Each structure stands twice: as C-alpha cells, then as structure tokens.
A and B are shown apart, each in its own frame.
Chain A
Amino acid sequence: MRGDRDFSSRPRRRRPAPADLGLLGVGLLTLVVAGYATGTSWADLKRARQHVVDVRRQSEAAQARLRALESRSAPTAALATQALLSEEAAPPRVLADLSGLMPADVKLESMSLTYGEAIAIQMQVSSRSAGSYDAFLQRLEGSPLFDDVVPGEETRDGGVSASITARYRGPR
C-alpha cells in the first residue's frame, strides 16, 4: 500500500528537512574525521615508539662494544692510535692536505711530524708576500683537518719566513 493512500490514524513520520540532514552529515563527518585523526595519531605514536626501541637496542649493543674497546689500557690504546695514524695519515697524505691550503707563493721549507694520539706538526714556511702567508694561516686555522694552529716566530722583510705548529686531526 502506498503511503499517500494511508487513512490510518497513526501520525505520519515527517521526513527530516534537508537542513537537518545536512547537520547530521556534518556531525557524522566530524566524528569520522576525529576518528581518523585519532587513528593516525595512534599509528604514528606506535611507529615512533617502535623506532625508539629499535634504535636504543642498537645503541646499547654498540655502546657495550665501545666500552669493551675503550677499556683497553692507555699505552695499548695510544700505540693502536699511532698505528692507525701511520696507516691513514702517512706523510704524503698530510703533505697533500697541507699543500692544498697553500697559496702559490707560499713554500714549505721544512716540516716535522710527531705521531702519537694525534700528529703534531712543526713547519717552517716562507712566502714572497705577507698577504699570502696570512691567507695560508687563515686557511690552516679554518681547516677541519688541522687544529691547535699556533704561529711561531716570523720575520717580515718584504716576504715572510715563519714557523707554525699545528695538530693534524686526520680522517675521523
């Protein structure tokens, strides 16, 4: 039986107005979006916590190995460092790194390298112009390969002749 031919006394259910339907839609949408945002946050949290746990586990294993290696006696460790520097920072390597910082008219007159926990460098350089020597010193001080750069005695007579001490940090 069709609804418009219903003669019963029962009150007819009113169809919701389009505005109400719209409001219901907005309510549902709000709930869905809030649920989605909550679910996404929960997944993010779970993933981030798992990453933290994984990284911490790896760190602890590496830290244990590190402690074992660091607990070696100081003389043995110093000797091992010296062996490493002899291999990885042999004189040609140090000279090449040093030459790379030298302006064309700066000349290395003499150089001594002392291998230990690091490489102590003592060098005598000469330059035809004071500007080039200053530029070399500035580059040396700014280089990540060298530190503790200390200019020593210098004579300025047109050109420059100077001694410099520094420490070669070597490859890290």
Chain B
Amino acid sequence: MRARWLAALLVAAGLGLYAAVGAPMQRQATAAADEYKRARDEARDIRARLARLERRDAAHARAAAALPAAATPADTVRAVRRVVVQTLQEAHVSGVRLGVSAARAPYAARVRLSAAGPFAQVVSLAGLLARPERGLVLEKVRFSPRGETVSLDLEGVTLGASP
C-alpha cells in the first residue's frame, strides 16, 4: 500500500512540477522566441536602411573627392572639361556640344553635353560619364531619335568638398 501511495505522490509531484514550473516556462520560452524573431526582423530592417545610407554617403564622398581640389572656379571648370573630353574620346559619337560652367556650393561645376551616335554608343557614353571616378552626378539624361542615330542630352554637376 505504501508503494502505491509513494507512486501516487511521485506522479502528483511530476505533474505539479510540470504544471507549476515547466508549462509556464515553456510558454515564456515561446514568447521569448517570438520576441527574438521580431527583434531580428527589426534589426535586419535597420541594417538594410543603414547599409543604404552608408552606400549613399560613400557615393557622395567619392563624387566629392573624384576631382582634385581646384584653387579657382576657372581651374575647376578646366579640370571638369578635361575629364568629360577624355570620356568623349572613349565613345564613338558625333555632333558634340559641351558646356562646363562654375556652379555655386555645394556644387563645383555644371556640365551640359549633347552628342549623337548609334544607340549603343550614346548609352555607353552616358554610362561612362556616370562612373564614380569621373565625379559627375547626373541630373537629367535624355535619349531621343535623330534620323538614323540617337541623340543624348545630359546635364550633371560635380560636387565641391563635403560640408
């Protein structure tokens, strides 16, 4: 009889332990796991936004540092013109019209360019001008048909030193 009582006591103790401690703890663990998932998703969103902002600032810094610091606006204009002309030499386009002028801070210079050529060449030229090492930040780009060729009209700016 004592063995049966002892067995009943052990079963009751086991059930009591599980009901009083184990089950609530299991619920808390599940809730904590859910909270972890939420926190992890939130952290992922924050990291993605942060990565984009860091890329953005890095791009700004690269654009601002691409051209050597010039002493005068005229030096800036000459330097920017040189870069654009070098880029034009890599592209097989014709009918080029180029205007480079000094611009107010935070810009250093403003570039206006139009050219014509086969579609692939004018698209390639736009891509070359947008490369980070050129330091040109695009504002407006327009491709339109001109007879058998395509004309490109591009406006962009170069940046001064970062504020």
A residues adjacent to B (C-beta < 8 A): 16-17, 20-21, 23-24, 26-28, 30-35, 37-38, 41-42, 44-45, 48-49, 51-52, 55-56, 58-59, 62-63, 65-66, 69-70, 72-73, 75-77, 79-88, 90-93, 95, 109-115, 172
Q: B68 at interface (Cβ–Cβ under 8 A)?
A: no
Cβ contact within 8 Å between B26 and A37: yes
Query: Once A and B bind, how many residue pairs between them come within 8 Å at the CB atom?
Result: 192
Q: B74 at interface (Cβ–Cβ under 8 A)?
A: no
> What's the least CB distance linking B38 to chain A, in Å?
9
Where chain B touches its partner, the secondary structure class is helix
Cβ contact within 8 Å between B60 and A79: yes
Give the docked Cα–Cα distance between A31 and B17 (Å). 8
User: In the complex, how many residues of chain B place their beta carbon closer than 8 angstroms to a beta carbon of chain A?
Assistant: 64
Give the docked Cα–Cα distance between A88 and B47 (Å). 19
Q: Which residues in B have their C-beta under 8 angstroms from that of A115?
A: 137-141
Q: Which residues in B have their C-beta under 8 angstroms from that of A109?
A: 144-145
Cβ contact within 8 Å between A95 and B123: yes
Q: Which residues in A have their C-beta under 8 angstroms from that of B28?
A: 41, 45
> What's the least CB distance linking A163 to chain B, in Å?
13
Q: B85 at interface (Cβ–Cβ under 8 A)?
A: no
Given that A38-B22, A41-B26, A48-B29 are known contacts, is A84 also in contact with B138, CB under 8 Å in the complex? no
Give the docked Cα–Cα distance between A85 and B137 (Å). 9
Give the docked Cα–Cα distance between A68 and B136 (Å). 26
Cβ contact within 8 Å between A69 and B32: no
Give the docked Cα–Cα distance between A146 and B12 (Å). 64
Query: Which of A27, A49, A69, A73 counts the most chain B CB atoms within 10 A?
Result: A27
Give the docked Cα–Cα distance between A91 and B119 (Å). 12
Give the docked Cα–Cα distance between A31 and B43 (Å). 41
Give the docked Cα–Cα distance between A92 and B123 (Å). 6
Cβ contact within 8 Å between B159 and A79: yes
Q: Which residues in A have their C-beta under 8 angstroms from that of B163?
A: 73, 76
Which of these, A41, A69, A85, contacts B25 with CB under 8 Å? A41
Q: B11 at interface (Cβ–Cβ under 8 A)?
A: yes
Segment at the A interface, from B51-59, B76-84, B94-102: B51-59
Give the docked Cα–Cα distance between A20 and B6 (Å). 9
Which of these, A24, A51, A52, A69, contacts B54 with CB under 8 Å? A69
Q: B35 at interface (Cβ–Cβ under 8 A)?
A: yes
Cβ contact within 8 Å between A42 and B25: yes
Cβ contact within 8 Å between B8 and A27: yes
Q: Which residues in A have their C-beta under 8 angstroms from that of B21?
A: 38
Q: Which residues in A have their C-beta under 8 angstroms from that of B23?
A: 41
Q: Which 8 A-B pairs have the closest CB atoms?
A: A27-B10, A30-B14, A48-B32, A80-B60, A38-B22, A23-B7, A20-B3, A90-B130
Cβ contact within 8 Å between A27 and B9: yes
Give the docked Cα–Cα distance between A56 and B3 (Å). 52
Question: Can you name the residue of chain B whose Cβ is closest to the Cβ of A27?
Answer: B10
Chain B 33-47 residues near chain A, CB threshold 8 A = 33, 35-36, 39-40, 42-43, 46-47
Q: Which residues in B have their C-beta under 8 angstroms from that of A65?
A: 50
